[in-house]
Amino acid sequence: MKKLRHISDLLLKNRIKYVFGVIFLLCVDVLQLIMPKILGEATDYLESGTLTLSKLAYYAAAVALIAVGIALFRFLFRYTLYGVSRSVEFSFRNRLYAHLQKLSANYFNTHKTGDLMAHATNDMNNVTMATGQGVIFAVDCLLIPVAALIMMWFTGGFRLTAASFAPILLLAVVVFFFMKIMQSAVQKQQEAFSVLTETARENFSGIRVIKSFVQEQQEIRRFEKANEANRRANIRFIQLMSMMFPSVMLVSSLSFVIALWYGGLLVIDGAISLGDFVAFNSYLGMLVWPITAIGWVVNIFERGSVSLERINRILDEKPEIYDRTGTDKETGTQEKRCGRSTADTGLCSIGGRIEFRNLSFTYPGSTHPVLRDISLTIEKGMTLGIIGRTGSGKTTLINLISRMLPVPEGTLFIDGRDVNDIPLAVLRSSIGCVPQDTFLFSDTIRNNIDFYRGYDMDDIEKASRAAHLYDDISGFPRGFDTVVGERGVTLSGGQKQRTAIARAILGLPSILILDDCLSAVDAKTEASILRDLKAVIKQRTGIIISHRISAVKDADEIIVLDDGKIIERGTHTSLVELGGYYHDLYNKQLLADEIEEAE
């Protein structure tokens, strides 16, 4: 089936376990079918008065052994089938997470985190139920009715079996009707849960902003609205389920009425024995569970099908940015030298020379280019300063270097090689970037700096000293083992930025990018940090983006971006003498610094 395209291999991989689980389940069903026959024979002996003590002991022992067998095989099939469903869930969840990691950053700009969380939790659980509990119920619903009907035929005859089973045929119509209207209800139920999850996540993440603007009541109302939509979607689903199960039970009850009346007449007429009548009703009773479970099975598979399709839509997404393959004839040699991820290109590291050739870039879905005709060369070991108004394209420019955005062919080269031909692992591991929006994980300061790359403590301390963070850490009770909380909430803005700087310079990357990463510290602290970083930056290609002239004035070259174009370029001295945007900004900031010193 098309819906199983991303999970079929996992099901096939575990097919042996499924087979054994179904065999164990069949053993339970067979033993359950034997039980009424034994009771029927015992009843006939009892009615005829020929039931001896030895026969009674025989039948009692048989019932006891069958009960033990049912318990044993019931444990085996539940352990096997539920276990294999969890194994499938484990692999499928890992596959989804790995795929999400491969998707481009732009995908997460257009998809809510709450929706993705719902896919990875609620939807995944629904798929697990379908591959475990759903399989168990489906096998029971398919096999028990067939086997029970055969045994009913043997014990009660064709006419009694046909008469008792006739009302059950109506179940097909009932189940089909509910299946048609239930699919839409399940889809709406899943969507409402996603909205509720995203609303809660957004509120928790922005709780400080909410409290700062005294918007608690407004956010409570917004959550109540999402919660009400979720309640209505669930109530609709409950209504359908509440209607379906009584309908199924009503139809099955009609079968007992017919069996009691018509079967009783046959016993009175001597057409069947009392024991056969008892066995027949036992087999008819065995039909009730699987027939009643049809609605539950439909529900499980319906929810699983909808959830699987929602997950499939994510797995069908193709990454906008990916590694090219087949560009090096000596793949085997490179694989030994560089590792599997870089074997296709014959490249293990980059030097740091960056060249833009008439680069223009427009975000997907937009008609206005963010960058236009950018031509620029940054030699290895050179430092470039970038100044410009908000929205002028500064961050977009540096995101293209690390291929966080898709780069147009033939417009960006590193070491003379099209950036699209450089393996992402090599490219990004050679770039240390400190973004505007500093993100820290809820972990220790040490792990946030090292970021699980395996550097020793000496390297981490050196990086923290260069970022002017070491003294702050030394003042914490647990030092580098201090847990910073969610998104680094226990640190100040400046401490978070300096932690991100330490993370970026650790390992001495070939290219170091500082994207307005010192906005949370004062000008003097910024100058002091940059002064200490100068030795680090001089050893590699550096790019500094800032709104402050003091941060970029020592750069080898400075460019001024405006509306996606380079309007000015040169050294600090030449740009001041030019008398343009840079000159005006320099004078304004110089005046502001003088006023601050005077105060």
Residue 380 makes CB contacts below 8 A (sequence gap 6+) with 351, 352, 353, 415, 510, 540, 541
In Å, how far are 19, 276, 497 from 78, measured between CA atoms?
A: 13, 32, 52
Is the Cβ–Cβ distance between 312 and 5 less than 8 Å? yes
Q: Is the pLDDT of residue 342 over 70?
A: no
Q: How far apart are CA 73 and CA 136, in angstroms?
A: 13
The whole-number pLDDT of residue 361 equals 93
The whole-number pLDDT of residue 325 equals 60
Find the mean pLDDT for residues 182-186. Answer: 75
DSSP 506-572: TT--SEEEEESTTTTS-HHHHHHHHHHHHHHHHTSEEEEE-S-HHHHTTSSEEEEEETTEEEEEE-H
The whole-number pLDDT of residue 295 equals 67
Identify the H or E element spanning 372.
strand 371-378
Q: How far apart are CA 152 and CA 498, in angstroms?
A: 79
pLDDT tens, position by position, 37-62: 888 888 877 877 777 888 888 888 98
Residue 145 makes CB contacts below 8 A (sequence gap 6+) with 287, 290, 291
| DSSP-H helix ranges across 166-215 | 170-205, 207-212
pLDDT tens, position by position, 485-520: 777 778 888 888 888 888 988 888 889 998 887 766
* Residue of 124, 77, 251, 247 whose CA lies nearest to 179: 247
In single-letter form, the type of residue at position 362 comes to T
Q: Indicate the burial class of 298 (C-beta count within 10 angstroms; 0-12, 13-18, 19 or more).
A: buried
pLDDT class for 540, splitting at 50, 70, 90? confident
